[in-house]
Amino acid sequence: MASLLDGSSAGELIPELARHGLQQLIELEVAAFLGADRHERTDERLGYRNGYRSRTLTTQVGDLALQIPKLREGSFIPTILEPRRRIDQALYAVIMEAYIGGVSTRKVDALVGALGSQSGISKSQVSRICQEIDAQVQAFLNRPLEGSGYAYVYLDATYLNGRQGKAQQVTSRAAVVAMGVNADGRRELLGLKVGNSESEAFWAEFISHLKERGLGGVKLVISDAHSGLTKAIRRQLQGSVWQRCRVHFARNLLQCVPKAHQGMVTAALRSVFAQETAAEIESRWDDLATSLADRFPKAAALMHEAREDVLAFRHFPKDHWRKIWSTNLLERVNEEIKRRTRVVGIFPNDAAIIRLVGAVLLEQHEHWQLEGRRMFSAESMAAIPELDGGPALQALSA
């Protein structure tokens, strides 16, 4: 510590101070847990220490190497590590299930060994851990959606590799997630489904389940232009407006333009969303579509076709525009899913995907609730208009 204070290693001072502070908190917490400090003799003592195990904690100041006390009997998990405990348990359960199922790889073998299970893992152990995680995840994914409704609903999918059927073939599995914004302007993760997202029936079943749990009051649905999804939205959420994600649309548009001109078209499209009023946005969009007509007729046709869907956000409060014109908010959740599932590689079945992804969603949802931060103010949510017959509404009611 002294070498850090002399200024020679100033960049290491803050991480080391954070590590030292957290380590002291852990020592105080384990002392309270055992009813006695190290080497202290007291009638209130409930247990004894038995060395340490290393644990890396990722923080905003970097990865901190902490020493977690081990006990002679039982286990001790510091409070600062508790928020990720459920995800770790789910990850371990998936790894162990893959190991038992005979689909292990060198990576899985190494991870199982890192868990201290070189001598083998019993099916009863895996079953017990899976049941505990599954009960928590299913309670979360099937909870009633109470309140005065979700004005905004985001739908998106991320793709994972999983084994299917008796042949245990590896296929791409879609994990689709729904996120909503309630009347108070707070985000909630509403549901999860795993399967083949190409079909309308898959999406319809997912949305129908959300409605059965209480999803209502939906004014705007934000998603990409997947045909199965858009058809399901029209059938299941009639009366709401569909916002076609501007990011996904931009990718579709650039496919109609030669690579040499894509930079120009990207900048021009970005300028549409930089306008201050709905009228200016519409005018700039139409001008761009007209300017593309001669050289890139397919791009112009796509812009005319998608106009109402990509610009649906303009019917809603201006303060909301940047957060409702794309699925970027949900993409951040998907990035966390990818980060946590990347270590698995290939899932042994859909149940394992639901177990781990559901645990990730549950932890993120609880974090948002504890944080208490609103995405939109309650006043601005109350200002969302009741659309009655506008072009965008008619498109979803068709």
Q: What is the pLDDT of residue 397?
A: 41
Shared domain check, 297 and 184: yes
One domain for residues 67 and 176: no
pLDDT per position as a tens digit, 311-345: 999 999 999 999 999 999 999 999 989 988 887 78
* Each residue's pLDDT tens digit, 40-86: 888 778 888 888 888 877 665 667 888 888 888 877 878 777 655 56
Pairing of strands 346-347, 150-164: parallel
Whether 167 contacts 103, CB under 8 Å: no
166 and 257 in a common domain: yes
Domain total in the chain: 2
Q: In this structure, are 72 and 215 located in the same domain?
A: no
93 belongs to a structural domain: no
Q: What is the pLDDT of residue 131?
A: 72
- Please tell me whether residues 59 and 179 are part of one structural domain: no
pLDDT band of 103, cuts 50, 70, 90: very low
Residue 105 belongs to some domain of the structure: no
Is 229 contained in some domain?
Answer: yes
Q: Which domain holds residue 7?
A: 2-76
pLDDT in tens, 245-272: 999 999 999 999 999 999 999 999 999 9
Indicate the pTM of the whole model: 0.72
The last residue of one of the domains, among 76, 103, 128, is 76
Convert 102-117 to b/e letters by CB count within 10 Å (16 or more is b).
Answer: ebbeeebeebbeeeeb
The fraction of the chain above a pLDDT of 90, given in percent, is 46
- 238 and 385, same domain (yes or no): yes
The two structure tokens encoding residue 315: 């019917």
Answer yes or no: is 294 within a domain.
yes
In a domain, 241, yes or no: yes
List the one residue out of 86, 179, 130 whose CA is nearest residue 347.
130
Domain boundary among 48, 76, 104: 76
**Boundary of a domain, candidates 76, 109, 127:** 76
192 with 302, same domain: the answer is yes
Query: Is 132 among the domain residues?
Result: no
pLDDT at 271: 96
> How many H helices and E strands in the chain?
16, 8
Q: How many Cα atoms occupy the beta-carbon half-sphere of 225 within 13 Å?
A: 17
Handedness of CA 275, 277, 281, 284 (dihedral sign): negative
Q: Could you give the CA distance from residue 74 to residue 293 in angstroms, rounded to a whole number?
A: 72
**Beta strands at 150-164 and 220-223: parallel, antiparallel or unpaired:** parallel
CA pair distance 198, 126, nearest whole angstrom: 33
Q: Please tell me what DSSP assigns to residue 180.
A: E
Question: Which long-range contacts does 122-125 make (Cβ < 8 Å, 24+ apart)?
Answer: 125/96
Q: From the CA atom positions of the chain, what is the Rg in Å?
A: 26
Q: What is the mean pLDDT of residues 351-357?
A: 88
Task: State the Cα–Cα distance between residues 248 and 245, nearest whole angstrom.
Answer: 5
Asked if residue 128 is part of any domain, the answer here is no
Q: Are residues 226 and 325 in the same domain?
A: yes
Residue 105's pLDDT band (cuts 50, 70, 90): very low
For residue 237, is it within any domain?
A: yes
